[in-house]
Amino acid sequence: MRLTKRTYLVGGGSLGFGISNDYDCHVYVVDGGGELALIDAGAGLTIDPILENMRFDGLDPRRLRQLLLTHAHADHAGAAAQWRERFGVEVAASPAAAEYLRNGDEERISLAIAKRGGYYPRDYVFRACEVSRVVSDGQELRIGDLRVRVYETPGHCSGMASYLVEENGRHVLFSGDTVFHGGKVLITNVWDCSVKDYVTSIDKLAALEVDALLPGHLAIALSGGSKHIRTAQEIFYRLLVPPNII
């Protein structure tokens, strides 16, 4: 599904638009001209519906060169190993997320607790994945002829990164599970969720001029993205916690 001139939504499950496996987060493709990049991988139970969606949009998966991960939670990163094996993509993640991915540590990515909470099938297995590019705050990346700025935005969990893509003077923010449409957040009872870090991260993103806000789940804003981020910021400033998406 084409969202902007250069971005597409190609996956998303029951907390999305139901266009791929139920457990998938939103999976996006950025078209850099000479190459394609995925933003987040999906859970990995099957990537076939994502491939079908790409082909339907005229995106040849063989043009994929990079996979930028927002964080290591299974719904976002579980399929990373498959994308790497099948298409040879270079996997990029923040330092903490890279460590969790390389070790495939189900405790560190809170998968064990999420399985007990009923969010994943009991027999779901997270596949470890080599990360070839560790990215950090402020770093600039390229996807073909597009510039991408990395913002480390912990709070929902450790190792979270958001990616700001500049596209013909418009700014598209891939915010992962940091901030959602309507200023919602995702604060859960996991070891590395931190309200204090969340506030700092929202402040960081609220300082940017964002047109399209493309989060990891549910609704998308194709314009006025900053407004949604600043809604979350204002609620934090009133010492409260913005509503969760679930």
Residues that bind Zn ion (CB under 5 A): 73, 177
- Round to whole Å and give the CA distance between 133 and 131: 6
CB 71 to Zn ion: min, Å? 6
CB 179 to Zn ion: min, Å? 12
Largest CA distance in the chain: 48
Nearer to Zn ion, 32 or 154 (CB): 154
Residues near 185 by beta carbon (within 8 Å), at least 6 away in sequence: 155, 156, 178, 179, 198, 202, 232, 241, 242, 243, 244, 245
CB 186 to Zn ion: min, Å? 6
- Round to whole Å and give the CA distance between 111 and 125: 9
In eight-state DSSP terms, residue 128 is P
Q: Measured at CB, which residue is nearest to Zn ion?
A: 73
Nearer to Zn ion, 73 or 184 (CB): 73
Only one residue has tokens 């076939």, namely 48
Nearer to Zn ion, 177 or 192 (CB): 177
- Round to whole Å and give the CA distance between 142 and 165: 9
Nearer to Zn ion, 36 or 101 (CB): 101
Only one residue has tokens 């995106």, namely 59
Nearer to Zn ion, 33 or 246 (CB): 246
Nearer to Zn ion, 64 or 185 (CB): 185
CB 81 to Zn ion: min, Å? 18
CB 66 to Zn ion: min, Å? 20
Helix, strand, coil fractions of the chain, as percent rounded to 5: 25, 25, 50
CB 202 to Zn ion: min, Å? 16
CB 157 to Zn ion: min, Å? 6
Question: Hey, which bits of the chain come out as E strands?
Answer: 7-11, 27-31, 36-39, 64-68, 90-93, 133-134, 140-143, 146-152, 161-167, 170-176, 212-215
Cβ(57)–Cβ(50) below 8 Å: no
* Token duo for residue 118: 């009923």
Amino acid at 66: Q
Nearer to Zn ion, 9 or 54 (CB): 9
In eight-state DSSP terms, residue 185 is B
